[in-house]
Amino acid sequence: MKRRSREKLVIGWREWVALPELGIEKIKVKVDTGARTSALHAYRVKRFERDGKGYVRFYVHPIQRRKRPEIRCEAPLIDERIVISSNGKPEHRYVIETRVEIGGRSWPIEVTLTNRDEMSFRMLLGRQALRRRLVVDPGRSYRLTAAKRSRRTKKTKETAA
Protein backbone atom coordinates (compact mmCIF):
# COMPACT_ATOMS: atom_id res chain seq x y z
CA MET A 1 0.00 0.00 0.00
CA LYS A 2 1.40 3.36 -1.05
CA ARG A 3 1.66 5.91 1.77
CA ARG A 4 0.85 9.54 1.06
CA SER A 5 3.59 12.02 1.80
CA ARG A 6 1.18 14.48 3.37
CA GLU A 7 -0.98 13.79 6.36
CA LYS A 8 -4.47 15.26 6.39
CA LEU A 9 -4.81 18.47 8.37
CA VAL A 10 -7.35 18.47 11.19
CA ILE A 11 -9.51 21.58 11.13
CA GLY A 12 -12.32 22.86 13.34
CA TRP A 13 -15.92 23.41 12.28
CA ARG A 14 -14.98 27.04 11.60
CA GLU A 15 -11.65 28.46 10.48
CA TRP A 16 -10.04 31.48 8.82
CA VAL A 17 -8.86 30.94 5.23
CA ALA A 18 -7.38 33.12 2.48
CA LEU A 19 -8.43 33.34 -1.15
CA PRO A 20 -5.30 35.02 -2.55
CA GLU A 21 -6.31 34.96 -6.23
CA LEU A 22 -9.37 37.02 -5.28
CA GLY A 23 -7.42 39.42 -3.07
CA ILE A 24 -9.07 38.12 0.11
CA GLU A 25 -6.44 37.87 2.84
CA LYS A 26 -8.78 36.26 5.34
CA ILE A 27 -12.38 35.23 5.57
CA LYS A 28 -14.08 33.16 8.25
CA VAL A 29 -15.56 29.93 6.90
CA LYS A 30 -17.99 27.42 8.27
CA VAL A 31 -16.95 23.91 7.34
CA ASP A 32 -20.07 22.29 5.88
CA THR A 33 -19.79 18.58 5.14
CA GLY A 34 -23.43 18.67 4.01
CA ALA A 35 -22.57 20.97 1.11
CA ARG A 36 -20.91 19.47 -1.95
CA THR A 37 -19.42 22.71 -3.28
CA SER A 38 -18.07 25.68 -1.35
CA ALA A 39 -20.08 28.92 -1.43
CA LEU A 40 -18.81 32.49 -1.18
CA HIS A 41 -20.78 35.61 -0.26
CA ALA A 42 -20.85 37.75 -3.40
CA TYR A 43 -23.01 40.63 -4.56
CA ARG A 44 -23.29 42.82 -7.66
CA VAL A 45 -22.30 39.72 -9.64
CA LYS A 46 -21.96 40.42 -13.37
CA ARG A 47 -21.07 38.01 -16.14
CA PHE A 48 -18.91 39.38 -18.99
CA GLU A 49 -16.73 38.21 -21.86
CA ARG A 50 -12.96 38.66 -22.19
CA ASP A 51 -11.07 37.25 -25.17
CA GLY A 52 -14.08 35.10 -26.02
CA LYS A 53 -14.22 33.50 -22.55
CA GLY A 54 -16.78 33.95 -19.77
CA TYR A 55 -15.79 35.81 -16.61
CA VAL A 56 -17.59 37.13 -13.55
CA ARG A 57 -16.98 40.35 -11.65
CA PHE A 58 -18.32 40.56 -8.11
CA TYR A 59 -17.81 42.20 -4.74
CA VAL A 60 -17.22 40.62 -1.34
CA HIS A 61 -17.57 41.88 2.23
CA PRO A 62 -15.22 39.36 3.91
CA ILE A 63 -16.11 40.33 7.48
CA GLN A 64 -19.47 39.39 8.97
CA ARG A 65 -21.86 42.24 9.75
CA ARG A 66 -19.51 44.81 8.15
CA LYS A 67 -19.78 46.70 4.87
CA ARG A 68 -16.04 47.47 4.84
CA PRO A 69 -13.75 46.35 3.44
CA GLU A 70 -15.38 45.83 0.09
CA ILE A 71 -13.24 43.74 -2.26
CA ARG A 72 -13.76 43.79 -6.02
CA CYS A 73 -13.00 40.40 -7.59
CA GLU A 74 -12.83 38.93 -11.09
CA ALA A 75 -12.48 35.29 -12.06
CA PRO A 76 -12.95 33.04 -15.07
CA LEU A 77 -16.39 31.44 -15.14
CA ILE A 78 -16.13 27.64 -15.13
CA ASP A 79 -19.82 26.70 -14.84
CA GLU A 80 -23.36 27.79 -14.05
CA ARG A 81 -25.48 25.54 -11.84
CA ILE A 82 -28.82 25.29 -10.15
CA VAL A 83 -28.07 24.77 -6.44
CA ILE A 84 -30.60 23.94 -3.74
CA SER A 85 -29.96 26.61 -1.10
CA SER A 86 -30.25 26.12 2.67
CA ASN A 87 -33.88 27.26 2.52
CA GLY A 88 -34.63 24.43 0.06
CA LYS A 89 -35.19 26.65 -2.99
CA PRO A 90 -33.32 26.20 -6.29
CA GLU A 91 -30.96 29.08 -7.10
CA HIS A 92 -28.94 29.84 -10.24
CA ARG A 93 -25.27 30.32 -9.32
CA TYR A 94 -22.06 31.08 -11.13
CA VAL A 95 -19.13 28.77 -10.37
CA ILE A 96 -15.48 29.83 -10.28
CA GLU A 97 -12.24 28.10 -9.37
CA THR A 98 -9.81 29.78 -6.99
CA ARG A 99 -7.04 28.80 -4.59
CA VAL A 100 -7.77 28.42 -0.90
CA GLU A 101 -5.00 28.73 1.72
CA ILE A 102 -5.27 27.18 5.16
CA GLY A 103 -2.71 25.76 7.56
CA GLY A 104 0.22 26.64 5.30
CA ARG A 105 -1.23 24.69 2.37
CA SER A 106 -2.91 25.87 -0.82
CA TRP A 107 -4.99 24.15 -3.52
CA PRO A 108 -7.68 25.02 -6.08
CA ILE A 109 -11.36 24.67 -5.15
CA GLU A 110 -14.67 25.27 -6.90
CA VAL A 111 -16.79 28.01 -5.36
CA THR A 112 -20.36 29.07 -6.11
CA LEU A 113 -21.22 32.75 -5.79
CA THR A 114 -24.30 33.70 -3.79
CA ASN A 115 -25.53 36.49 -1.57
CA ARG A 116 -24.96 35.28 2.01
CA ASP A 117 -25.67 38.67 3.62
CA GLU A 118 -28.28 37.16 5.93
CA MET A 119 -26.07 34.21 6.87
CA SER A 120 -23.69 34.02 9.83
CA PHE A 121 -20.68 33.06 7.70
CA ARG A 122 -19.45 34.74 4.52
CA MET A 123 -18.23 31.42 3.16
CA LEU A 124 -19.00 27.71 3.42
CA LEU A 125 -16.21 25.23 2.81
CA GLY A 126 -17.83 22.17 1.22
CA ARG A 127 -16.89 18.48 0.90
CA GLN A 128 -15.03 18.81 -2.41
CA ALA A 129 -12.63 21.37 -0.88
CA LEU A 130 -11.99 19.07 2.11
CA ARG A 131 -11.56 15.83 0.19
CA ARG A 132 -8.21 14.06 0.59
CA ARG A 133 -6.71 17.04 2.42
CA LEU A 134 -8.67 17.90 5.56
CA VAL A 135 -10.45 16.14 8.42
CA VAL A 136 -13.02 18.01 10.52
CA ASP A 137 -13.08 17.96 14.32
CA PRO A 138 -16.69 19.08 14.90
CA GLY A 139 -16.04 19.84 18.57
CA ARG A 140 -13.33 22.41 17.88
CA SER A 141 -13.05 25.83 16.26
CA TYR A 142 -9.99 27.51 14.78
CA ARG A 143 -7.62 24.56 15.11
CA LEU A 144 -5.30 26.00 12.45
CA THR A 145 -6.00 29.70 12.81
CA ALA A 146 -6.28 32.03 15.78
CA ALA A 147 -9.71 33.41 16.56
CA LYS A 148 -10.09 37.05 17.45
CA ARG A 149 -11.22 37.32 21.03
CA SER A 150 -13.95 39.84 21.66
CA ARG A 151 -13.94 42.23 24.62
CA ARG A 152 -16.86 40.30 26.03
CA THR A 153 -14.89 37.04 25.97
CA LYS A 154 -11.85 38.69 27.59
CA LYS A 155 -13.94 40.23 30.38
CA THR A 156 -15.71 36.96 31.03
CA LYS A 157 -12.41 35.11 31.36
CA GLU A 158 -10.88 37.86 33.53
CA THR A 159 -13.95 37.94 35.77
CA ALA A 160 -13.88 34.18 36.16
CA ALA A 161 -10.25 34.24 37.36
- What domains are defined for the chain? 9-160 (2.40.70.10)
Question: Looking at residue 63, what is its pLDDT?
Answer: 84
Residue 152 near residue 27, CB atoms below 8 Å: no
Question: Looking at residue 153, what is its pLDDT?
Answer: 41
The arithmetic mean of pLDDT across residues 147-160, rounded, is 45
Residues 62-87: tens digit of each pLDDT: 888 777 888 999 999 999 999 988 77
Residue 76 near residue 97, CB atoms below 8 Å: yes
Question: Looking at residue 118, what is its pLDDT?
Answer: 75
Q: Does residue 76 have a cis bond before it (omega within 30 degrees)? A: no
Residue 69 near residue 62, CB atoms below 8 Å: yes
Q: Is the pTM of this model over 0.85?
A: no
